């Protein structure tokens, strides 16, 4: 039942994000600097939306002699379309947020990881297009790529969606449309906290990895 409740809350957040998107509002950004990441997925999600619309029209024609089944199928397609739009809307209205104390890393409505600035050991721009699952690492790819890598001095707990058990992570990779700006600003805050800022240039391992 907990998983069902978590799924319902997640879908409500997606649907609620559509309203924020239409109203041109963002979720919990005040007091910080927002860094969008939805630019890398817009074409894919809108392409998926087009596929759902075409499929709905075709099935409506095929099922025109079965009004009950046709109505149920149409309702499912409409809800699927809302969820797809909600995914994009959530990515737009829930950007990454940097404050003097915390870097809030987000992925649509299902990931919200708070990283204390004081826990940042290194941050760098690093383009990766493949991501192997490894212990203590969290990869939040957008459009199959991440552009920022943050290494931590101590683990933070990532709580997966749908009520699954959390796990400790020490390396976080994610995408930001303005990766250079985010890295520069975070490095500046790390320097103000008394730590040694990490370099912001690409690492030798940047690019596709096997």
Q: Report pLDDT for 41.
A: 79
User: How does the average pLDDT of the chain come out, rounded?
Assistant: 86
Of 47-51, 108-112, 163-167, the range with the lowest mean pLDDT is 163-167
Rounded Cα gap, residues 99 and 111, in angstroms: 18
Q: Report pLDDT for 136.
A: 94
Instruction: Quote the DSSP letter at residue 175.
Output: -
Q: Report pLDDT for 114.
A: 96
Q: Report pLDDT for 164.
A: 66
Q: Report pLDDT for 209.
A: 36
Q: Report pLDDT for 196.
A: 46
Question: Residues 5-10: what's their mean pLDDT?
Answer: 81
Catalogue the E-assigned strands of 61-190: 96-98, 102-107, 111-116, 120-128, 137-140, 146-158, 167-174
Q: Which has the higher per-residue pLDDT, 113 or 161?
A: 113
Kindly state the percentage of the chain with pLDDT values over 70: 88
Q: Report pLDDT for 36.
A: 95
pLDDT in tens, 54-104: 988 999 889 988 999 999 999 999 999 999 899 999 999 999 999 999 999
Q: Report pLDDT for 96.
A: 97
Q: Dihedral sign, CA of 79, 140, 161, 14?
A: negative
> Which band of pLDDT confidence, cut at 50, 70 and 90, is reported for residue 43?
confident
Rounded Cα gap, residues 87 and 82, in angstroms: 9
Q: Report pLDDT for 193.
A: 54
Rounded Cα gap, residues 22 and 41, in angstroms: 18
Q: Report pLDDT for 52.
A: 86
Q: Which has the higher per-residue pLDDT, 68 or 205?
A: 68
Q: Which of 14, 9, 70 is nearest to 45 (CA)?
A: 14
Whether residue 107 is predicted with pLDDT greater than 60 in this model: the reply is yes
Q: What is the pTM of this model?
A: 0.81
Q: Which of 106, 124, 139, 137 is nearest to 182 (CA)?
A: 124
Q: Report pLDDT for 49.
A: 84
């Amino acid at each position: 039942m907990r998983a069902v409740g978590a799924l319902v809350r997640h879908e409500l957040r997606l649907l609620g994000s559509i309203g924020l998107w239409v109203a041109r509002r963002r979720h919990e950004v005040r007091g910080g600097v927002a860094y969008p990441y939805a630019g890398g997925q817009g074409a894919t999600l809108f392409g998926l939306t087009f596929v759902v619309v075409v499929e709905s029209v075709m099935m409506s024609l095929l099922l025109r002699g079965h009004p009950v089944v046709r109505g149920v199928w149409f309702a499912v397609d409409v809800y699927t379309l809302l969820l797809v739009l909600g995914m994009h809307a959530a990515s737009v209205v829930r950007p990454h947020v940097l404050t003097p104390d915390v870097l809030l890393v987000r992925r649509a409505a299902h990931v919200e990881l708070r990283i204390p600035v004081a826990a940042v050991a290194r941050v760098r721009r690093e383009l990766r297009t493949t991501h192997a699952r490894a212990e203590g690492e969290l990869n939040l790819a957008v459009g199959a790529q991440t552009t920022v890598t943050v290494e931590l001095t101590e683990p933070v707990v990532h709580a997966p969606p749908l009520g699954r058990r959390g796990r400790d992570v020490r390396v976080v990779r994610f995408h930001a449309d303005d990766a250079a700006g985010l890295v520069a600003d975070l490095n500046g805050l790390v320097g103000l906290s008394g730590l040694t800022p990490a370099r912001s240039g690409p690492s030798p391992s940047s690019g596709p990895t096997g």
